[in-house]
Amino acid sequence: MHGRVTTLLAWGSLLGLSQAACPYADSAQLGKRDEGEASDPLAKYKIDDSDGYMSTDAGGPMEDQASLKAGARGSTLLEDFIFRQKIQHFDHERVPERAVHARGVGAHGTFTSYADWSNLTAASFLNAPDKKTPMFVRFSTVAGSRGSADLARDVHGFATRFYTDEGNFDIVGNNIPVFFIQDAIQFPDLVHAVKPRPDNEIPQAATAHDSAWDFFSQQPSTLHTLFWAMAGHGIPRSLRHMDGFGVHTFRLVKEDGSSKLVKWHWKSRQGKASLVWEEAQIVAGKNADFHRQDLWDAIESGNGPEWELGVQVIDEDKVLAYGFDLLDPTKILPEELVPVTKLGVMKLDRNPTNYFAETEQVMFQPGHIVRGIDFTEDPLLQGRIFSYLDTQLNRNGGPNFEQLPINMPHSPIHNNNRDGAGQTFIHKNTAHYYPNTLNKGFPLQANQTVGRGFFTAPGRKVSGDLVRLISPTFDDHWSQPRLFYNSLSPVEQQFLINAIRFETSNVKSAEVKKNVIAQLNRVSHDVAVRVATALGLEAPAPDDTFYHNNVTAGVSTFAPNGTLPSIKTLRVGILASTQAKDSLAQAAQLKEALAADGLVVTIVGETLAEGVDQTYSAADATGFDGVVVAEGAEALFGADSKPSPLFPAGRPGQVLIDAYRWGKPVGALGSADKAFKSAGVPVDGEGVYGETTVDALVKGLEGGLARFRFTDRFALDE
C-alpha cells in the first residue's frame, strides 16, 4: 500500500501538483473523502470532487473528453480503455425501479424517545428518556413509475428506518392506516389491476381505468383503503402534512417475554392538509416534483418536519374483542376504543447528498426487526416479510445490498454469510461455520437470555389444519368504509364522491360501473345514488346489512374550522405590478412582515424586475396557500386591462380566482381590493381580506392560512 501512495505522489509531482493539492497526499483512498459532520455516519463514504485530477475507476489520472482515434477523423480504437470504462459505466447506471412505490423521496433524521419504555418493550431504542436514534425515511406514491408525478391520486408510502444500536428496525408503512387486500397472495392481482394497461401502458400513476375498478368492485376488501385514497389522503398538500401508519398489528415484547399487540402511528406535528383534486391535477402537469421540492425546501430552510411515534396497545387476548379481527389489515382500531400512547418524536433535518446512493438504494423490509418487537400472523404481513427481500435481490443483483452505506446497520455485523457479488467485507475468520472450535466458537449465538439477541415472543402459539382460505373473521368489508365516510365533513364527503365520479366516469365497461355502484351501495345508499346519478345510472334499492351511524375522530384532512398547528413554511403569493408606482415597495413590505412569521413569500410581477421573484407567466394558484394583491396590480385584472405579451391572457386574475375557488385565503391592500370585483371574488366572503394596512392584512391572512381551506366555497349536491 505504501508503494502505491509513493507512486501516486510521484504522478502528482510529474503533473505539477503540490503535495497538499494531490488527492492522494494524505490518503491511499480512491478520491478525496468528505470530512463531513462527525455525526454523519455516511461521511466516510462520501467523495468530494472539489479538487484533484480526473481518474479512471482503477485510480489512474487521465483525461476523458475525446476518444482515442486512428487519425483525427476516426475510427475509435478498441484499445481505448478510458472510453470503454466511461460508456460501460453509463450503460449500467440504472437498477430496476421498485415494482411498486417506484417514485419516492428520502431524508435523514433522528428519533428521540420520550421515556424508558421497558414496561412495553425490550427494544433498545426505546429504553431511555431522550435516547436518540438516527433515521432514514422514504415517502412514495405506489402505482406510478419513477418519473411519474408527485400529485397522482394514490396511497403514499411512509417507510421509516431506525438505525438502532441493536440493528436496523424498519416500519414500512403508508399514510393510510389500512390496505386493499387481506392476503399477500393477492398482491400481484392488485398491482396488475392498478398499474397501466398492459397493451398501451395507459394511464400512468392513476386508478381511473377499467381494470382498477373491475378489481375494486370484485374484491370488496379494497373498499376501505379506496375510500381513504379517494378522500384527501390520496392528494396530501405535502408529505409533511400526512400521518403514517404501520397498518398491520405487530407485537411489542418485554425482556421477560410477555407481549402485547400494537398498531404503529406516526402523527404529523405539522397537522394534516390536502389539496383539492382540480389543483392536484394541474400540479401533476406543472410541477411533477411538488412534494419532493417541498420536503427538500423545508429541510434546507431549517423547518424539518416532525412526527410523533405512537402505539395503540392491546392485550393479546383482545385480538377479536372489537368486533373485527386485529389480524385483518383492512380495519382500523378506532382511537376512541384504544388511545394512542406517544413514545417519541422523529425529526427530519438532513437532505440526502446523492439521490441514487441513498434514496434509490435504500432497501426497507418489514423483516428488519429487532429485539423487543415481533410480527403477528396477519397474512399480508407474513407475505411481505418474504417479498421485500426477494425484490431487493432482484433490484441489486446479489445478496450484499445490506452492505451499501445507506443500508449498513450502525451496530456490529458478525455472521457466517460470505461472498456474493459486490462483497465489501474482508472477513478474517477462516472458520466461517457454526459450531466451530477453530475460532473458539465465535461469533456466538445471541438470544433472549444471552447477547441481547432477537427472540420470537415466547407466548405466540399457532396451530391448525392446513387450509387455503381467508379467515371468516375477515369477512366484513363494508362497516369500516362506512365508518370512515360517516366521519368526514359534508364537503369531504362531497370530495370523496366527486373523486369516485371522476375515476368511474373514465371507466368504459358498463358492467364494471354497475358492479362499483353495487359495492358502494353496501357501504352507503347516499354514496351509491350520488355516484350513479353522475354516471347517468340508477342506483339499486338500499342494501342495508352493514349500515350504521357510528363515527370516529381524526380522519379528516379538511377539518371545518380546525386550524393547523403551525403556518410556518406555507406559501404566499403577492401579486404586484412592475408598472404601477409603489406597488413593488408595498409588496416588499408585505413580504417582510409575512416572512418574519416563517411564511415562504413570492412576489409576482410582469417581468423579473428587481424585487420580483416570479413572473405571471410562471405563476399560478397551485404554488400558493394564500394570495394577496398589492396596490397597483388591480390594473392587471379588470375587464379593460390590456392583454400583455408577457403572460397568458387573464393570468393575474386567474391566480386570484383559482386561489379563491380552491378555498384558499385571499387578500388585497387598499385600492387593490378592486381586484376582487374584477376577478369575481365576493368581497364579504369568509377568508377574503380587504384591508387598508399591512398589519391588518397580515393578521387576517395568517388567520386564514391557519384555517387552510374555506370549505364553504365548494358546491355540495342538493
Any contact of residue 388 with ligand HDE (CB under 6 A)?
A: yes
CA atoms of 443 and 446, how far apart (whole Å): 9
User: Which range, of 5-13, 42-50, 170-178, 561-569, touches ligand HDE by CB under 6 A?
Assistant: 170-178
Contact between 46 and 33 (Cβ < 8 Å): yes
Q: Tally Cβ neighbours within 10 Å of residue 317.
A: 8
Residue in 174, 396, 407, 498 annotated catalytic:
174
CA atoms of 186 and 163, how far apart (whole Å): 32
Buried-state track 60-91, b at ≥16 Cβ within 10 A, e below 16: ebeeeeeeeeeeeeeeeeeeeebbeebeeeee
Phi, psi for residue 143 in degrees, rounded to 5: -85, -35
Is residue 368 part of the annotated active site? The answer reads no
Specify the residue, 182 or 711, whose C-beta has the smaller distance to ligand HDE: 182
With CB under 6 A as the contact rule, the residue among 242, 380, 497, 570 that binds ligand HDE is 380
Could you give the 3-state DSSP secondary structure of residue 303?
A: coil
Contact between 304 and 239 (Cβ < 8 Å): no
Q: How far is CA 161 from CA 169, 407, 676, in A?
A: 6, 9, 49
Q: What would the grid cell of residue 622 be?
A: 397551485
User: Which range, of 121-129, 166-174, 209-217, 541-549, touches ligand HDE by CB under 6 A?
Assistant: 166-174
Helix (H) or strand (E) segment spanning residue 111: strand 104-113
Residue 15 Cβ vs ligand HDE, minimum distance, rounded to whole Å: 43
Residue 353 Cβ vs ligand HDE, minimum distance, rounded to whole Å: 18
Q: How far is CA 58 from CA 44, 354, 433, in A?
A: 19, 22, 34
User: Which range, of 77-85, 379-387, 592-600, 628-636, touches ligand HDE by CB under 6 A?
Assistant: 379-387
Any contact of residue 225 with ligand HDE (CB under 6 A)?
A: no
Contacts with ligand HDE by CB under 6 A: the residue count is 26
**Which position's Cβ is nearest ligand HDE?**
157
CA atoms of 10 and 17, how far apart (whole Å): 10
CA atoms of 167 and 46, how far apart (whole Å): 22
Residue 159 Cβ vs ligand HDE, minimum distance, rounded to whole Å: 4
Could you give the 3-state DSSP secondary structure of residue 332?
A: coil
Any contact of residue 654 with ligand HDE (CB under 6 A)?
A: no
Q: Tally Cβ neighbours within 10 Å of residue 480.
A: 25
With CB under 6 A as the contact rule, the residue among 17, 107, 135, 184 that binds ligand HDE is 184
Is residue 92 part of the annotated active site? The answer reads no
With CB under 6 A as the contact rule, the residue among 143, 159, 206, 299 that binds ligand HDE is 159
Q: Footprint of ligand HDE on residues 10-69 (CB under 6 A)? A: none
Q: Footprint of ligand HDE on residues 327-356 (CB under 6 A)? A: 329
Any contact of residue 574 with ligand HDE (CB under 6 A)?
A: no
Give the closest residue to 403 by CA, choosing from 375, 384, 424, 419: 424
Any contact of residue 157 with ligand HDE (CB under 6 A)?
A: yes
Percent composition of the chain: helix, strand, coil (DSSP 3-state, to 5): 30, 15, 50
Specify the residue, 400 or 439, whose C-beta has the smaller distance to ligand HDE: 400
Contact between 474 and 222 (Cβ < 8 Å): no
CA atoms of 265 and 405, how far apart (whole Å): 28
Any contact of residue 392 with ligand HDE (CB under 6 A)?
A: yes
Any contact of residue 140 with ligand HDE (CB under 6 A)?
A: yes
With CB under 6 A as the contact rule, the residue among 173, 234, 652, 663 that binds ligand HDE is 173
With CB under 6 A as the contact rule, the residue among 179, 375, 474, 660 that binds ligand HDE is 179
Any contact of residue 265 with ligand HDE (CB under 6 A)?
A: no
With CB under 6 A as the contact rule, the residue among 85, 112, 387, 429 that binds ligand HDE is 387
Residue 135 Cβ vs ligand HDE, minimum distance, rounded to whole Å: 13
Any contact of residue 384 with ligand HDE (CB under 6 A)?
A: yes
Specify the residue, 386 or 434, whose C-beta has the smaller distance to ligand HDE: 386
Any contact of residue 98 with ligand HDE (CB under 6 A)?
A: yes
CA atoms of 539 and 694, how far apart (whole Å): 53
CA atoms of 576 and 607, how far apart (whole Å): 11
- Chain centre to alpha carbon of residue 266: 12
Specify the residue, 222 or 678, whose C-beta has the smaller distance to ligand HDE: 222
With CB under 6 A as the contact rule, the residue among 107, 247, 295, 483 that binds ligand HDE is 247
User: Which amino acids are annotated catalytic?
Assistant: 101, 174
Residues found near ligand HDE in the complex (CB under 6 A): 98-101, 104, 138, 140, 157, 159, 172-174, 179, 184, 187, 247, 329, 363-364, 380, 383-384, 387-388, 391-392
